[in-house]
């Protein structure tokens, strides 16, 4: 049986080297995982000692060895970033129970029932069984794990703190998901009101008003200006509505493609920052993203420059991202973190003062966490406020339109009835 020389780290972070016997390299990795060891290096010491070839008739001897179940092919299922958090939560639960990360991934690839998660775990275990560390296996799925998550796991493998790092990463991703959920929930009611109001207007202009127009025409007389305006809008919708819809779709598609370009994204992001309410909300989102991501990265041992570079990719607004890139250059030139971030224009003066105090006292990570908590509450409040204002504006617009309809119809009825009596 082949012998393998390995160097591995146990759950306490201690490194040891020894030899073991196993039928294959994969079996050797499984033995190390069963012992709670994370392999750093694994070499076959007697490569010449190979198992003898089996004869065609030796079916019994071949069946004596258990055949491991092949992992689920990850390419057969479309994997997305939404599988990241459930996988990390399941992995954290198993590593908290004492299993090594490799053995936990192997167990998940067998036990999980959800197809996408099982396929992801199967693909990860296939790479782990070939000797790759967990961070390198995760890097093979960039659509699921971003660079920040991969680098955090790599740093945890180097320090032997996989479980605690998973906990902090899960907390960070949960906060990000909660913020996105609040944003979607906040926009759901206003969008619903827009759809209902648009449907009512289209129904009235294209179906009800033409019937009223026939009635008004049969009565004769001159219609009020408000009624003529409604009838003109109805004729426009009936005869040219399809062209208006096509033009609107073309305009929205062109605007979407323009914003997708770098020049369009930078110009539109700069325009958003100049809006009275939206600009402060975008700035608060940037501060929240920077403080959340940077605190998690620095807390897990990532160097300041690398943490700043990974944080830069989490900033959505292109104007703020460019300013943050300038701050990274300043830090690389030796400038302090708080002073460099002060030049970005993303952080208010009070936030910079808190960062300065935290940097001078060596508590930059707690300061960033406090800023993240405060700005998460602020973003939630701003979302609720903008939602109430937008919903109120939509209701007011619907009421004004309904009132105008009633006024136009009743004024036409009264004027025609008066002329009919004469």
Per-residue tokens: 358 = 């935290």
CA-angle at 100, arms to 177 and 103, nearest 5°: 90
Q: How far apart are the first and last CA of the chain?
A: 115
- pLDDT attached to residue 59: 37
Q: What are phi and psi of 8, to 5 degrees?
A: -140, 165
Length of the chain: 422
CA-angle at 325, arms to 353 and 272, nearest 5°: 80
Q: What are phi and psi of 316, to 5 degrees?
A: -80, -40
- pLDDT attached to residue 348: 83
Q: Which residues pair with 16 in a beta bridge?
A: 8
- pLDDT attached to residue 253: 92
Per-residue tokens: 223 = 């219609």
Which DSSP string corresponds to 114-177?
SHHHHHHHHHHHHHHHTT--HHHHHHT-TTTS-HHHHHHHHHHHHHT-HHHHHHHHHHHHHHHH
The Cα diameter of the chain in Å comes to 117
- In angstroms, the CA 296 to CA 171 distance is 9
State the CB neighbour count (10 A cutoff) for residue 235: 15
- pLDDT attached to residue 65: 35
- Residue carrying structure tokens 């971003």: 146
**CA-based nearest residue to 330, from 296, 368, 304, 364:** 304
- pLDDT attached to residue 259: 87
- pLDDT attached to residue 204: 77
Beta-sheet pairing, 3-9 with 15-21: antiparallel
User: What 3-state class would DSSP assign to 5?
Assistant: strand
Q: Cα Rg for the chain, rounded, in angstroms?
A: 32
Write out residues in the chain with pLDDT < 50, as ranges.
Answer: 47-76, 422
Per-residue H/E/C for 9-48: ECCCCCEEEEEEECCCHHHHHHHHHHCCCEEEEEEECCCC
Q: Which residues pair with 18 in a beta bridge?
A: 6
- In angstroms, the CA 376 to CA 373 distance is 5
- In angstroms, the CA 148 to CA 298 distance is 11
State the CB neighbour count (10 A cutoff) for residue 176: 16
Per-residue tokens: 187 = 């926009």
- In angstroms, the CA 367 to CA 295 distance is 9
- Host H or E run for residue 79: none
Per-residue tokens: 164 = 């605690």
- In angstroms, the CA 358 to CA 295 distance is 12
């Amino acid at each position: 049986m082949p012998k393998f020389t390995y160097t591995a780290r146990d759950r306490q972070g201690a490194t040891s080297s020894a030899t073991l016997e196993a039928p294959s390299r994969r079996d050797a990795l499984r033995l190390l995982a069963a012992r709670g060891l994370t392999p750093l290096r694994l070499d076959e010491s007697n490569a010449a000692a190979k198992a003898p070839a089996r004869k065609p008739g030796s079916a019994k001897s071949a069946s004596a060895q258990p055949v491991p179940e092949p992992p689920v092919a990850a390419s057969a299922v479309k994997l997305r970033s939404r599988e990241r958090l459930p996988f990390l939560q399941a992995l954290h639960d198993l590593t908290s129970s004492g299993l090594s990360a490799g053995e936990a991934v192997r167990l998940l690839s067998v036990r999980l029932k959800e197809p996408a998660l099982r396929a992801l775990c199967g693909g990860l275990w296939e790479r782990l069984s070939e000797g790759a560390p967990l961070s390198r296996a995760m890097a093979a799925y960039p659509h699921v794990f971003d660079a920040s998550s991969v680098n955090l796991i790599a740093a945890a493998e180097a320090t032997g703190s996989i479980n605690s790092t998973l906990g902090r990463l899960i907390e960070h991703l949960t906060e990000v998901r909660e913020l996105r959920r609040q944003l979607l929930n906040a926009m759901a009611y206003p969008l619903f009101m827009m759809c209902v109001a648009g449907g009512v207007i289209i129904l009235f202009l294209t179906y009800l008003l033409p019937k009223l127009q026939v009635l008004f025409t049969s009565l004769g007389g001159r219609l009020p200006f408000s009624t003529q305006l409604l009838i003109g809008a109805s004729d426009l919708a009936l005869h040219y509505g399809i062209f208006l819809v096509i033009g609107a779709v073309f305009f929205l598609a062109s605007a979407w493609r323009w914003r997708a370009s770098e020049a369009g994204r930078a110009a539109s992001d700069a325009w958003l920052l100049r809006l009275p309410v939206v600009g402060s909300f975008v700035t608060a989102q940037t501060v929240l993203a920077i403080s959340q991501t940077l605190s998690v990265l620095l807390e897990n041992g990532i160097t300041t420059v690398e943490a700043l570079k990974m944080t830069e990719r989490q900033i959505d607004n292109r104007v703020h991202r460019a300013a943050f890139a300038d701050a990274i250059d300043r830090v690389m030139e030796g400038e302090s973190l708080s002073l460099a971030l002060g030049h970005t224009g993303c952080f208010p003066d009070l936030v910079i003062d808190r960062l300065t105090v935290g940097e001078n006292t060596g508590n930059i990570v707690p300061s960033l966490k406090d800023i993240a908590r405060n700005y998460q509450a602020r973003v939630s409040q701003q979302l609720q406020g903008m939602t109430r204002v937008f919903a109120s504006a939509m209701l007011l617009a619907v009421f004004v339109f309904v009132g105008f309809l009633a006024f136009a119809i009743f004024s036409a009825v009264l004027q025609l009835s008066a002329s009919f009596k004469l």
